[in-house]
Amino acid sequence: MITVLQLFWSFMQIGFTSFGGLSMIPLINSEMIGHGWMTATEVSDIVAIAEMTPGPLGLNCATFAGIRVAGVLGALAANLGMLSPTLTVCAAAAVFFEKFKKSRVLGDVMQAVRPVCVGLIWAVIIDLCRTNYIVSGSVEIVGVLIAALGVYLIFRWKWSVPKVICVAAVLGMIFCR
């Protein structure tokens, strides 16, 4: 039961201190590794699965991490923790929307937060690249080529992300393992 409460608390902190999407990944990584619930590779796998499944990244990560750590009850606790801050902030924002909309201070705060989020996303990219493309101290060339193909297909040919994920999965199964 302690683990379930810790999951709730961890994901509530993540929900309060991140701004959704990829900015959550360093926090999830830190919590999972810090509690000894997962390794960096397992967190990377959870993020990959969460990206492939429909729904918000944070909730998907909370679900998969919660199940991995404490079963269905852990998944419920992690999801409630992840949603609590959002529900609280949205309720408060709805009450004070007009005041927030015209506030110069809020505009200044958001101006400062945006670059921090970009920095966090780059930190995640670098961390995931180290975890996914460096195996036993050497660069996994096939993985890098598959990633480069994915980027090319998305930006040059405007393929959808699910389509690129499927192609990458097939190529990974054929060439990597």
Task: List, for residues 34-82, the tens digit of each pLDDT value.
Answer: 999 999 999 999 999 998 888 888 999 999 999 999 999 999 999 999 9
Q: What radius of gyration do the chain's Cα atoms show?
A: 18
% of residues, the chain, pLDDT over 70: 97
What pLDDT score was predicted for residue 46?
92
% of residues, the chain, pLDDT over 90: 66
Tell me the C-alpha distance between 133 and 143, whole Å: 6
- What is the average per-residue pLDDT within 121-148? 92
- What is the pTM (predicted TM-score) of this model? 0.59
* CA angle at 52 for the pair 23 and 147, rounded to the nearest 5°: 80
More confident residue, 105 or 126: 126
What pLDDT score was predicted for residue 155?
97
Beta-sheet pairing, 134-135 with 138-139: antiparallel
What pLDDT score was predicted for residue 85?
86
**What are the sequence ranges of the domains in the chain?**
2-102
What pLDDT score was predicted for residue 98?
67
More confident residue, 100 or 126: 126
